[in-house]
Amino acid sequence: MTLTFYWYPKCGTCRKAKKWLEERNIEFQEVHIVEQPPSKEELKDLYEKSGLELKKFFNTSGQKYRELGLKDKVKTATEDELLTLLASDGMLIKRPLTADGQNVTVGFKEADFEKYWVQE
């Protein structure tokens, strides 16, 4: 199954992750996370498959996150409110966001990429 790789080309971490995938000849479909952010439904599906807390999907170091004062909102908002927020702006989503229909990784940790995306 082909990976879906949500990324932002100006993001250094995304470029590093893309290079990592390419060096291992792993096929992926790239999606510009700002021009084509995942929908609320897609995010809900990714979140549920990831096993991670929803707040891990937020780009907490991003300018938009700080501008909107989300640090406190994230603690009290409902799951539905958080998913709506994430779907409203690709810059709020931690990237790269990589998925294959079963597994999901958020951000780029080589060990996670090795575990989930390298097929033996």
Peptide bond into 37 cis (omega under 30): no
Q: Which domains does the chain have, with CATH numbers?
A: 3-117 (3.40.30.10)
Residue 1 has pLDDT above 80, yes or no: no
Q: What is the mean pLDDT of residues 7-17?
A: 97
Q: What is the mean pLDDT of residues 69-77?
A: 93
How far is C-alpha 88 from the chain's CA centre? 14
Residue of 95, 54, 94 lying closest to 77 (CA atoms):
54
Q: What is the mean pLDDT of residues 101-119?
A: 95
Positions annotated as catalytic residues are 11
Give the per-residue pLDDT at 18: 98
Model confidence at 119, pLDDT cuts 50, 70, 90, reads confident
Q: Transcribe 46-99 into DSSP letters.
A: HHHHHTS-GGGGB-TTSHHHHHTTHHHHHHHS-HHHHHHHHHH-GGGB-S-EEE
Distance CA 72, CA 27 (A): 38
